[in-house]
Amino acid sequence: MAAVAVWALLRSRNMEIWIGSYLRRPRVTAMPGPVHVMFCFVDHFEPMWHGADEATQRQRVDRWCRDYRALAARHRDADGRPPQHSFFYPEEEYVPEYLDKLSALCTEGYGEIEVHLHHDNDTEANFREGMSRFCRVLHERHGALPRDPATGELRFGFIHGNWCLDNSRPDGRWCGLDNELILLRELGCYADFTLPSAPSDTQTRTINSIYYATDDPDAPKSHDTGVPVRVGGQASGDLMLIQGPLGLNWKDRRMGLMPRIENADVRGGQPPTPQRVDAWVRAGVHVQGRPEWVFVKIHTHGTQEGDMDTLLGPPVDAMHDYLESAYNDGQRYVLHYVSAREAYNIVKAAEAGMQGNPGDYRDFHLPPPRASWAGGRQAQAAA
């Protein structure tokens, strides 16, 4: 009866999908030299959330552009750079005014703009047309998204709305494309940043990983497993996925008994406490063969009023204070604030066998978008 009860509890939170991977995870061992922590904050940035009117949408964007400047300006990593916020903006919520304001924030060196999408029962033709158009607009109108120096094509990072990458929801809602990984690759996506999605049933068996997934165009959720990115390896499959930490929080238990899911989500009800920061680092997400370069990708839905006091106020301010004190002593840990694009570039540098300071490889493969050129240089000069 106890086993049945435990299984029922696991299924109620869709934990049966990934708990085996979590329990089989290798133990994290101490590193002989400093561990470099790449801290990447990605945001499902949705000004129209919950059907807000235009005035509310504008207030949300304006508050971010005002308060995030003040918060980020108080902090620096080992390279002298402020926190980098990656705004994954929804294609279906495009408003030029909002992107102009975010672009100005990014130009000052505080982050970059990437691509987010909510869709349902979509078609390949519609997906191609909509995504191509949106990427062109982001680049040409708002200075976002880099061009590949080898091919000249626009490149973008991606987060899928409702977590349903590659039609991964069992009932087929909120996507509709079993070949979405292939389409993203062909459209210029350099990496996906959707996961973890737990407790959603879209969560993959693969956790705490950076890996390549190969699409089966006739089946959903092809990214359930894949090939880990490794030092000395090369790109394979259709799409790289950079996951955030996922595990169990034994220090915060439901009804005092069952540990809660630690899914790297930051919001009002899930503030970024020092204990959570420690758990994110301990998850040890890394390129195989380079365990001393740890990637901490956390996420949020930044425009929801109930969360903004956390994201733009004392809790996240304290999170950065803790990161800069506990994980930036230069001996045991070195902290690097990175955008989604920079995280990808550092992954590719590790894959290519680069060593030393990963902060030197922020632009290893893909250059910065136009909207961040001036700001990056200004931030470095100020430091």
Report pLDDT digits (tens) over 129-180: 999 999 999 999 999 999 999 999 999 999 999 999 999 999 999 999 999 9
Of 322, 337, 353, 375, residue with least CA distance to 230: 353
Max distance between CA atoms of the chain, in angstroms, equals 64
The CA distance from 158 to 167, in Å, is 15
Can you say whether the dihedral through the CA atoms of 328, 331, 332, 338 is positive or negative? positive
Q: What is the phi/psi pair of residue 340, to 5°?
A: -60, -45
In which residue ranges of the chain is pLDDT below 50?
374-383
pLDDT of residue 31: 74
Task: Identify the CATH class of 32-382.
Answer: alpha beta
Examine residue 217 and say whether the peptide bond preceding it is cis (omega within 30 degrees of 0). Answer: no
pLDDT of residue 277: 98
The CA distance from 259 to 146, in Å, is 41
DSSP symbol at 136: H
What's the predicted TM-score (pTM) here? Answer: 0.94
pLDDT of residue 2: 54
For residue 306, give the 3-state DSSP assignment.
helix
- Strands (DSSP E) along 165-262, which ranges? 189-192, 210-213, 227-228, 239-242, 247-254, 258-262
132 token code pair: 């191509």
pLDDT of residue 251: 76
Of 157, 128, 154, 152, residue with least CA distance to 140: 154
pLDDT of residue 382: 44
CA angle 56, 314, 344 (to 5 degrees): 80
Q: Where are the domains of the chain?
A: 32-382
Residue environment code for 266-293, b if the CB has 16+ CB neighbours within 10 A, otherwise e: bbeebbbbeebbebbbebbbbbbebebb
**First CA to last CA distance, the chain:** 61
Can you say whether the dihedral through the CA atoms of 328, 334, 337, 340 is positive or negative? negative
The CA distance from 77 to 109, in Å, is 13
